[in-house]
Amino acid sequence: MEVLQSLAVGFVHVFAPANLVALTVGLLLGLLIAVLPGLTLVMGVVLALPFTYTMDVTAAIILLTAMYVAGTYAGAWTSILFHVPGEPIDVPMLWDGYAMARKGDAAKALGWTLTAALVGGLSAATAMVALAQPVARIALTFSTPEYFAIIFFGLASVVSLGGSSLANALISLFAGLLIATVGVDDTYGAHRFTFGVPILSDGIDYLVVMVGAFGLGEVFLRMEQRFTSAPLQSVDRVSTRLPTLREAAAVKGTYVRGTLLGILIGIVPGAGATVASFLSYGVEAQYGRRKALMGSGIPEGIVAPQTAATSSVGGAMIPLITMGIPGSGATAIILGAFLLHGLQPGPQVFETSSEIVYAVFASIFVGVIGMCLIGYFSARLLVRVLELPEVLVSAYVVMLCILGAFAARNNITDVWLIVVFGVIGLLCERWRFPITPMVLGVILGPLAETNFMTTMISFGNDWTVFFTRPISGTIMAVAVATIVYPVLRQWQRRRRLAAT
């Protein structure tokens, strides 16, 4: 009951003019970014961050969250209509969505996408509201060893679930943790890795790492590829035709499976919308009622990835709000926005900033509905941005990266640093070192170190305490298993290959 009351207050806040404007702008930007060539969802959220510096914290978080939600939806349009996935999330949409469009039913394919995003988004938002406070209450009972164990688990799963190479993901993570140590240490006042450079005494801002590696690095990469985009096919008329209730009821199992899978994957750090979308399609292709027809343009092949992708947003917000642990690149930036505005997400956030949290929760409900309305009426207009030359968009991306880095501390050295991190981001892409573990390492590094050091001080430098306390021990064991499992799988596969 108390939760519903808080949510009602949240809705009142969302409909305040400033927040409503932020929500609408966020939705429009998210939809545009998902459609635009060469702009990823994470990059888009990074670029929007500087514009929120002077905004009220609630409006700022609402704007970024709206972008995140909308970004999981609009990329499907270009997959379905032009066979060009706006984001990696939308690759599964090529298999059935595009196939349906080729059969002459593009409007229906867009309609299935819309209902999937609506059902997935609203269900996940409900789950988020229902689960957040109980999870936060449990987290309140934790001490520093448990906190360190949770952060360790978060970082371990980021490394072991999503990365294309476990070793590279580990190195990327360690680099991030190390970058977070640069500057003056809080406890001893000792200079760490500052090498006599004054600006490094203040540390390297995580914003600089994010903007440089995600934003500028991606532009450099696309520049090397000469901003090559797929040629667009001509589409006569873009419209959306919603499925009837009877048609929707026939695939209700797919809606439920996709939503549950999306929420679950969203909660696990490191997985995110892309994996949710692929995994949900895979589950439908393996266990669905019409699995033999998957890939031929059936609604299940559209509903499964889209519900999972949109519902993963609600799932990802649960560990972010309740424990301050972001599970993906986009939530890492939203965490960054919380910190920029002096708000630390975690179990106490419901006591200290309940109004803000519930306003954000309510904004997701309103955002999902708003996103679908905008999608229904303006898809035709929005996909026209695909005609923009990518080099023009990229030039603006670079300018926004530079302005974003400069505006954070009004310091030109930060701008030099984003160029450095841009080159590092490019090298990471080239040598297949994932960037997300590094960014999460930079953000969670100080939290991990503080909890580790505090535990060591409290328990007389006894490191076994992480493994001997029941909760932290269990979490640590799961975390270690998360890292060991891919190695064992690889070893097993090699043995099987050698045997054949």
Partner 1 sequence: MRRALAGALPYALVGGFASYLYYAATRIDFHRRADTLGPDVWPKLVLGLMIAVCLYEIVRVVLSPRRRGGATGVLQEIAEESVAKHGGGETVELGPRSPLMLLGGIALTAFYVWIIQRLGFVLATAPYLVAFIALGGYRRWAINAAVSVIGTLAMMFFFMKVVYVSLPIGQEPFAQVTLALMRLMGIR
Of 325 and 368, the one with the shorter C-beta distance to partner 1 is 325
Listed in sequence order, the residues at least 6 apart from 474 whose beta carbon sits closer than 8 Å to its beta carbon are none
Of 129 and 204, the one with the shorter C-beta distance to partner 1 is 204
CB 262 within 8 A of CB 120: yes
Q: Report d(CA 252, CA 245) in Å as an integer.
A: 10
Q: Report d(CA 418, CA 405) in Å as an integer.
A: 7
Site for partner 1 in 285-304 (CB under 8 A): 295
User: DSSP class of residue 293?
Assistant: G
Of the residues 21, 140, 230, 477, which one makes contact with partner 1 according to CB under 8 A: 230
| 452 near partner 1 (CB under 8 A) | yes
Site for partner 1 in 412-451 (CB under 8 A): 412, 415-416, 419, 422-423, 426, 431, 433, 449
User: DSSP class of residue 311?
Assistant: H
Q: Report d(CA 301, CA 283) in Å as an integer.
A: 10
Of 138 and 407, the one with the shorter C-beta distance to partner 1 is 407
Residue 138 CB neighbours (<10 A): 14
| 264 near partner 1 (CB under 8 A) | no
CB 323 within 8 A of CB 121: no
| 113 near partner 1 (CB under 8 A) | no
Minimum CB–partner distance for residue 368 and partner 1 (Å): 25
Residue 432 has, within 13 A of its CA and on its CB side, a CA count of: 7
Of the residues 25, 126, 138, 227, which one makes contact with partner 1 according to CB under 8 A: 227
| 487 near partner 1 (CB under 8 A) | yes
Site for partner 1 in 170-189 (CB under 8 A): 170-171, 174-175, 177-178, 181, 185, 187-189
Of the residues 166, 242, 250, 478, which one makes contact with partner 1 according to CB under 8 A: 166
Of the residues 5, 228, 239, 458, which one makes contact with partner 1 according to CB under 8 A: 228
| 213 near partner 1 (CB under 8 A) | no
Q: How much of the chain is in helix, strand and coil states, percent to nearest 5?
A: 75, 0, 20
| 17 near partner 1 (CB under 8 A) | no
Of the residues 232, 253, 471, 486, which one makes contact with partner 1 according to CB under 8 A: 486
Site for partner 1 in 25-84 (CB under 8 A): 50-51, 53-54, 83-84
Given the structure tokens 């919308």, which residue do they identify? 273
Minimum CB–partner distance for residue 4 and partner 1 (Å): 35
| 169 near partner 1 (CB under 8 A) | yes
Angle at the Cα of 161 from the Cα atoms of 318 and 85, rounded to 5 degrees: 85
Q: Which two tokens stand for residue 38?
A: 């060469």
Residue 171 has, within 13 A of its CA and on its CB side, a CA count of: 10
Site for partner 1 in 343-362 (CB under 8 A): none
Q: Which two tokens stand for residue 373?
A: 């309305």
Site for partner 1 in 369-398 (CB under 8 A): 389-392, 394-396, 398
Q: Which residues pair with 444 in a beta bridge?
A: none
Helix (H, G, I), strand (E, B) or coil at 192: strand
- The span of 274-282, 347-355, 371-379, 466-474 binding partner 1 (CB under 8 A) equals 274-282
Burial class (CB in 10 A: 0-12, 13-18, 19+), 292: exposed
Of 269 and 370, the one with the shorter C-beta distance to partner 1 is 269
Of the residues 192, 291, 341, 380, which one makes contact with partner 1 according to CB under 8 A: 192
Minimum CB–partner distance for residue 141 and partner 1 (Å): 26
CB 123 within 8 A of CB 311: yes
Of 12 and 487, the one with the shorter C-beta distance to partner 1 is 487
| 16 near partner 1 (CB under 8 A) | no
Of the residues 73, 77, 153, 278, which one makes contact with partner 1 according to CB under 8 A: 278
Of the residues 264, 407, 471, 478, which one makes contact with partner 1 according to CB under 8 A: 407
436 closest CA partner among 268, 272, 204, 225: 272
| 478 near partner 1 (CB under 8 A) | no
Q: Report d(CA 259, CA 362) in Å as an integer.
A: 19
Of 373 and 457, the one with the shorter C-beta distance to partner 1 is 457
| 159 near partner 1 (CB under 8 A) | yes
Of 354 and 450, the one with the shorter C-beta distance to partner 1 is 450
| 234 near partner 1 (CB under 8 A) | no
Q: Report d(CA 296, CA 364) in Å as an integer.
A: 33
Q: Which residues pair with 192 in a beta bridge?
A: 183
Helical spans, DSSP H, in 268-299:
272-287
